Amino acid sequence: MGADAVTVDTQRASTVTAQSDAVGRLLRTWPPSPRVVLGTALVLIAAQAVVRGSLVLGGNLYWDDLILIGRSSAMPLLSPEFLFYDHDGHFMPAAFLVAGVTTMLAPLQWSVPAATLIALQLLAALAVLRVLWLVLGPRPVLPAVLALYLFTPLTLPPFAWWAAGLNSLPLQAALAWVAGDALLLARTGRRRYALTGTVVTVVALAFFEKSVLVPFVAFAVVALAARVDGTRSPVLAAWRSGRPLWLGCGAVLGAWAAVYLAVVDSELRFPAPAEAAMFVHHGTSLGVVPALLGGPWRWERWPPGPPWAIPPTGLVVAAWAVVALAVVLTLRCKQRTGWVWVTMVAYVAASEVAMMLARSGPDTVYEIAQSLRYTSDSAVMLVLGLALLIRAPRRPDLGRVGPLLQPVSTPPFVAAITALLVTSCLWSTVTFARSWEANPGAGYLAAARDSLAEHRDVPLLDQPVSLMTLLPVAAPWNMASRVFGPLTDRPAFASSTSELRALDQSGRLVSATVDPTRWTVQGQEPGCGTRIGPAGGDVPLSGPLMIWEWTAVLNYHASVDGTVSVGLGAGAPVDVPVRAGLHQAFVRIYGTGSALSVRPVTPGLELCLGSGPVGVVVPGTEAIP
């Protein structure tokens, strides 16, 4: 037994010695060289590209994406009516331009929009790395701070949704890039940074109106960096060092504001104090704050709406506790950090106020604040604030707190905390992907593309797409002719057809019928019904019709091939091709009244009309063979 004990002790001693040697090697190579720090950061960016790429490639076109595509096919690419359009309060000509080019390259194909999202996210990640390098230098903690931006769930929702990503990702990239240019201008005085910063601001404004915040964030970063470095009058110093950039951005904002006010006609709504408090609670306690710990971990969704965060109560409490502890420790242990916290809070608050002014209303649920789309760009400001807190010098006398901070500042502790946070972020990414992939409109679009390509022989009457794809509030862009207009491999959409077909709720092209609201009255002429001579005539209905878009069935016998004009009251008449002999025509007409007006357009054309239904189209169950 004694020999065994000696052997065990020897093995333990060898293990301890090996561990000590490993720690010694780590300490001898610490801190890592700038090349190692940069390489680690680039590896993290590549990892983010893989994670986010997997997420977005599993997605599909959704809601506003289809509106962008529909407008792209309906209007000239560089026309003012296409680019300068008030899209639900957004002014985004560059986003429309990207959507138009993408639609030209691959209409209704998800691969190209997904590629644009991945490219924009990569651009934003590199811009954030650049500004963090300027704030922190090659400190070993830089990759940890960068990882918080790269993997935070705060930026997930707008990244996965193409239309939202075309707003949010250029803004994120611009916030980081212009702040970096402002720091470089302050350090070097080279005016080229004023030029590039102004140009990037212009580009960002063309994608998203919220980019008006870009120069203000850049100014704040320069002023805060000067303050934590101990510069007297940091605001004045920031103004003087970056004056060419601030003046250039000011001129840009002035010109942009004039165009914006001329284009956008959305009304702002000021919520009641109780409503505002609920929006802040949902957006902050259930949105931004849990995301700081990698939350929310869970997502809820009411199709066809997007997912929103539903963090567990324990995570919310823990996140607030960590934020409170971080505030206390940095104020106690770091010099001149109070305004950094004020700036971070102010940016999140500005995002939530903008959301309330533009999106609150009697039909708006508070969960919209938990969708994280309206605060996603706060991720850039939060990591910049964290970098500035790290940059701030320690207070010379930490008292009893000093010894407690020693373990916290060691590389193993920082690495362990970063790994835990990234793991938490990745779990939220997985649960978001599961929710986002449950997109009921994706199957409809795929089935409709295939079905339309297989049956191009008969024109289709227009119809709204599935409610799970676009709701009627998106009219007229929820019509099949708008959504599928960019496709070349499809039947024509027309106001009349000789065979009634429709897309069912699954996207299959099926035979259809007209559910009658009224009938055309059977005429009294034997063997003809109602005779329509060259001068035309009115065909009475069995009762009046309210103003709507109706479908009429014309059971006719035509003397020759030609065209007739069919109208309902004051609505615009529709030209309908007819063939000689006994046939049917299905006509989509808009109007109100008690009679159809039928006028031959072709000289010498006469018609005999029988009774037929006038009503709405109902898809059948029989697929087109």
Closest to 324 (Cα-Cα) out of 339, 306, 341, 311: 341
pLDDT in tens, 259-302: 999 999 877 888 999 999 999 999 999 999 999 999 999 999 98
Across the range 181-202, mean pLDDT stands at 97
Q: How many residues does the chain have?
A: 625
Q: Look up residue 396 and give its amino acid.
A: P
pTM: 0.91
CATH architecture assigned to 514-623: Sandwich (2.60)
CB contact at 8 A, 117 and 162: yes
pLDDT in tens, 512-537: 999 999 999 999 999 999 999 999 99
| DSSP H or E stretch at residue 448 | helix 440-454
pLDDT exceeds 90 at position 2: no
pLDDT in tens, 219-267: 999 999 999 999 999 999 999 999 999 999 999 999 999 999 999 987 7
Q: Look up residue 343 and give its amino acid.
A: T
Residues 6+ apart with CB under 8 A from 260: 91, 209
What is the per-residue pLDDT for 77?
Answer: 95
Distances in Å between the alpha carbon of 219 and those of 36, 212, 234, 320? 31, 12, 10, 28
Which residues are registered as beta bridge partners of 568? 596
What is the per-residue pLDDT for 359?
Answer: 85
Closest to 185 (Cα-Cα) out of 145, 228, 215: 215
pLDDT in tens, 87-140: 989 999 999 999 999 999 999 999 999 999 999 999 999 999 999 999 999 999
Residues 6+ apart with CB under 8 A from 148: 382, 383, 386, 418, 421
Which residues are registered as beta bridge partners of 531? 608
What is the per-residue pLDDT for 232?
Answer: 92
pLDDT in tens, 541-577: 999 999 999 999 999 999 999 999 999 998 999 999 9
The overall longest dimension of the chain from CA atoms, in Å, is: 123
Q: Chain-centre distance of CA 383, in angstroms?
A: 22
| DSSP H or E stretch at residue 618 | strand 613-623
Q: Cβ-count burial of 435 within 10 angstroms (0-12 exposed, 13-18 middle, 19+ buried)?
A: middle
* Extended beta strands in 42-127, E state: 86-87, 90-91
SS3 62: coil
Q: Which of 183-187, 241-245, 410-414, 596-600 has the lowest mean pLDDT?
A: 410-414
Q: Look up residue 164 and give its amino acid.
A: A
Tokens of 287: 């949105």
Task: Report angle CA 9, 11, 14 to the nearest 5 degrees.
Answer: 110
Tokens of 201: 């601001």
CB contact at 8 A, 357 and 369: no
Tokens of 87: 């899209």
| DSSP H or E stretch at residue 276 | helix 273-280
